[in-house]
A = this chain, B = another copy of it.
C-alpha cells in the first residue's frame, strides 16, 4: 500500500541515485512464511534442516522461496550460529607467485564446497600477520596460514579459537600441509653429483621461514650422502632482487652448483650471473624450489624442485572444511611429494677453459 509500484522503467539511463533498499529488495523467511502460510521457524527448518518438515510443507516453502527468489541473509544466520561459510587465507606475500597457486587451489576448492575465501597478506611480517589473523578470526569459520612467519605459540593460540591449517610449515598440534622436500632434494643433489659437481651452495630464505630451514637440512643431508660439500649463504629477501644481490657471495663461495630457497632467488641469481658473463649451466648449475609460474620462461629454463602448490592450497582447504564438519584428524599432517623438474639451468660442469 505504501510503496509505489513502478520502480523499474523510471529512468533507464539516468545515473542510479541511491542503491537499492527499495525495489525487489531481499525477501526474508517471514515473507516466505506468509506466502506459504506457515510459521517462519518452519521456513527456517525447511531451508536448513533436511527432513525436519514434511515433504508437503517442504515443497510449499521451496516454491514460495523460489518465487520470491529468496536468499538467506548470511549475517542474520551468522549472528546466532557463528557459522559464516567463510574462511581466511593469509599469505606471506601476494607479490610472490608461489602463493598464486596456493590461492588458486584454495579458492577453487572453497567455491566447490560453497565457501567464500577472504584474502589477506602479511608482507612477510610476523606482527602484520598476527594482526590480520586476529582480525579475520572474528569473521571466518577457519583460517589457512600459508608460510606463516609468526611464532608456533601464536599459531597454536589461534588454533585454540577456531580451526587453523598451516601450509609450508609444521606446527605441533596444528594440522599442516607440507611438501616433503627429501625426495625432490635428493633427486636434485644426485643429479648434480652425477654431473661432476663437488661443492654446492644453498641460498637460504627468510630466517623465520620454517621451510627454508627444512630445505637447508635436506640439502645438507643429501650432500652428505652424495659426499658433496655444502655451504649455506644468506639472502636479504626471497625475491628476484634478493637473488641478484646474492650473486657475488655465490661466486665467492666457489660452489659450482647452487640451490636456492625459491625460484625467485634462482631467477635473480641466474640473471645476475649471466649479466656478469657466466654461462649457465656450463660454468654453474642453478636449481630453484617450487616451480612457480614463469620458471620455464628463462633461458635456460630453470631446473627446480617442484612443490605441488595448488595441491597444498586445495589440500589445506579440504582439511579445514573437514575439520569444520567434524570429520578429519584434529592434528594430522598432510604430506605432499616434491620432485625434481630437470630443465636447462643445471647440468654437466665444463672444465674451466
Which residues of chain B come closer than 8 Å to A225, judged between CB atoms?
none
How many copies of this chain? Answer: 2
Alpha-carbon distance between A86 and B116 when the two chains are bound, in angstroms: 12
Partner of A104, one of B16, B94, B162, B172: B94
Contact check, A331 vs B15: say whether CB atoms are below 8 A apart. Answer: yes
Contact check, B95 vs A84: say whether CB atoms are below 8 A apart. Answer: no
Alpha-carbon distance between A107 and B122 when the two chains are bound, in angstroms: 11
Contact check, B15 vs A293: say whether CB atoms are below 8 A apart. Answer: no
Alpha-carbon distance between A115 and B167 when the two chains are bound, in angstroms: 25
Number of interface residues of A (CB under 8 A): 52
Partner of A116, one of B78, B97, B139, B330: B139
Alpha-carbon distance between A72 and B15 when the two chains are bound, in angstroms: 35
In the assembled complex, how far is the CB of residue A157 from the closest CB belonging to chain B, in whole angstroms?
10
Which residues of chain B come closer than 8 Å to A74, judged between CB atoms?
138-139
Q: Is A334 an interface residue (CB 8 A)?
A: no
Q: Give me the interface of A with B, judged by CB distance under 8 Å.
A: 13, 15-16, 19-20, 23, 26, 71-76, 78-79, 84, 86, 94-95, 97, 100, 103-104, 107-108, 111, 116-121, 132, 135-136, 138-139, 159-163, 172-173, 267, 293-294, 297-299, 330-331
Alpha-carbon distance between A95 and B116 when the two chains are bound, in angstroms: 18
Which residues of chain B come closer than 8 Å to A15, judged between CB atoms?
173, 330-331
Contact check, A163 vs B19: say whether CB atoms are below 8 A apart. Answer: yes
Which residues of chain B come closer than 8 Å to A172, judged between CB atoms?
13
Partner of A160, one of B16, B132, B160: B16
Which residues of chain B come closer than 8 Å to A120, judged between CB atoms?
107, 111, 116-117
Known: A107-B121, A118-B117, A297-B267. A73 touches B160 (CB 8 A): no
Excluding A15-B331, A75-B75, A86-B118, 17 further A-B contacts by CB distance (< 8 Å) are A15-B173, A19-B161, A19-B163, A20-B161, A20-B162, A72-B138, A73-B138, A76-B79, A94-B100, A94-B108, A97-B293, A103-B119, A104-B121, A107-B120, A107-B121, A116-B120, A117-B118
Which residues of chain B come closer than 8 Å to A73, judged between CB atoms?
79, 138
Alpha-carbon distance between A162 and B25 when the two chains are bound, in angstroms: 12
